[in-house]
Structure 1
């Protein structure tokens, strides 16, 4: 009788109406579809996941989705080598690091800290590309939920999913915004999330054989909770590049750019003291645009009509001939924008003490 009641049209309509009231239904369906695609790429299509693990699985980044590798990062060779030896090798080749004392395994946590624009996130991307481990890029918004207790279940799902897909690297960018110093004024839910995260990371029931590493990046390490820092014994200071590091970065950025025969790289390296890797990239980008602008103006020197842009679209690419880049182009950009920008300075700005 109950079965026949379920088959009635009015019952089905009522069930559909109730289901449409679920505010998280669309989100859960989207997360499930994305997690299925991710698991398919990882070759774990038959892996059974809970509802919460499916939400976290949507944050998994496959190596094919990342174009950055360690060869594209200049001036940080010492950090790259240490990351390979202390993180990648123990995670991916555990048989080489087996020890009765448990001293040879990968660290539970790694922290990249330093001023903005110095390559912390690029290191994380390259690590995801070359490590071969499952890379879970956690956003704080993924872990927060308006329903009480749901955030704790999502935090728990991070570690349960990482165990199922290990070796795993869980990356939290701007980790200070999530795991900052605990205070009595913190909201109850926030405190519970932090406690749950720390307990699952390195708590009473945490085993020694897990191949899970938490990777964090921040430019405010002093704001991170001391209990979190204790769980991140491997810390790398990614500071403003030195002269030799700036040379490596500039050579990498300009390797596919035609340079003038009298291009003085040493002069440019010396004049860019105090700039971060991100600043150097922006400087090179704007300098490289100057020959392009000159060519565009030469093609349509006095035209302001709408046909000018169409002429450029129809331009034969074989006739495009721009001059080589000169050191003066870097100073030209500074001169025309000195009120708004200061990319090149003879003085090195003070760097914030992050130790």
Structure 2
């Protein structure tokens, strides 16, 4: 039966003649179920029948291969740049990241770091590097804190500068964390800058906004990059000003991303992978140490209470502020220091600036007099008295904020 049907179909094809010839007509192919094939399959079958078999089997020529490769190259390039443009358009922080990378490369050259490969996240952190040579703050610019400066030199700077003397001891290694706490305006940030300047450490001024990112998981990677960068640049100081806003006490109401970032930061600070000989110091400054997490306080065993200056300290601060100014010889700084009870270092500087402005104001008012000489008079005791009264009024108007005077221990 099968042979009979095959012979009958062959006779029908012979009756129609060769493909394309007179009397030839395509036969609608049938599927294995006996139904008519779709129109797409029919058209493909017709095209394949019209193409000679030798054209399908022959290899491509040289010009055809070159043309095919050229078309594939153009298609790949267009696809790559299209996808890249779409990714850049989706990420609004791409421009800031590029600028941060350029700034990081510039700072790395300034501090003399060469042949150090940094990742993308480390480049973002490196944009906040501070060159110690460019800092203008030294120990001589800080007055009234001699005891704190001496202890900092002995406990933080000396173990790093004289590392060979303490290699055999794990107790005499530099601390992993240093906390400077006390009322605002008393010199906590100045001490951190002077420490980095005098010790020659690489100084990373870490801002909480640097570690925040809208993409999930990026904050943890940035927190890890802080420590990996500090290790590559050691000896280094990671300074966090107002550390209470970044590492405050954890609670169940914290956001998941914030909690994970804090946990990542603390685990890398003093976790299983930390090295006891690593010369990385985290220094924080705050006027609200009671808001810090207990785990953070444990990681900062070296603490310095920078309280409001005493009468003697205020006199030293006034002498430092007015050192290069034109001051009348009759000015008694000891009496001025007695009248400025409750003033911080920044308050004393602002008070001296107001006194100097009074001299400038007199110069402007007397400038209309042609007989007057063209010079600004020195600061008198009366100018300081007026400036003290003005500062007390501004402090009383600002409210009696509770300043921290008690130590943590």
**TM-score, scaled relative to structure 2:** 0.77
- Give the structure 1 partner of residue 24 of structure 2: none
Answering whether residue 131 of structure 2 is matched by residue 78 of structure 1, we say: no
- Give the structure 1 partner of residue 306 of structure 2: 238
CA RMSD, aligned part only? 2.2
Q: Name the structure, 1 or 2, with higher relative contact order (CA <8 Å, separation 6+).
A: 1
The alpha carbon displacement at 1:23 in A equals 2.4
Question: 1:40 pairs with 109, 112, 118, which one?
Answer: 109
Q: What aligned pairs does 1:171-210 form with structure 2 within 5 A after superposition?
A: 171-210=239-278
- Give the structure 1 partner of residue 29 of structure 2: none
Q: What aligned pairs does 1:1-355 form with structure 2 within 5 A after superposition?
A: 5-8=72-75, 10-11=78-79, 14-21=82-89, 22-99=91-168, 101-300=169-368, 320-334=374-388, 340=394, 352-355=405-408
The alpha carbon displacement at 1:342 in A equals 5.6
Alpha-carbon separation, structure 1, partners of 2:142 and 2:317: 7
Alpha-carbon separation, structure 2, partners of 1:133 and 1:351: 30
Q: Which runs of 5+ in 1 are unaligned?
A: 302-314, 344-348
How many residue pairs were aligned? 333
Q: Which runs of 5+ in 2 are unaligned?
A: 1-67
Alpha-carbon separation, structure 2, partners of 1:329 and 1:255: 17
Contact 2:211 2:222 (8 Å CA) reproduced: yes
Q: Deviations for 1:48-88, whole angstroms, at most 9, x for unmatched residues?
A: 00010000111111123321111011100111111111111
Indicate the SS of the match to 1:111: strand
Alpha-carbon separation, structure 2, partners of 1:272 and 1:338: 9
Alpha-carbon separation, structure 2, partners of 1:262 and 1:214: 46
The alpha carbon displacement at 1:148 in A equals 0.6
Distance 1:148 1:13, change over 3 A: closer
Alpha-carbon separation, structure 2, partners of 1:136 and 1:26: 22
The structure with more radius of gyration: 2
Contact 1:91 1:133 (8 Å CA) reproduced: no
The alpha carbon displacement at 1:354 in A equals 4.7
**TM-score, scaled relative to structure 1:** 0.88
The alpha carbon displacement at 1:335 in A equals 5.0
Indicate the SS of the match to 1:239: coil
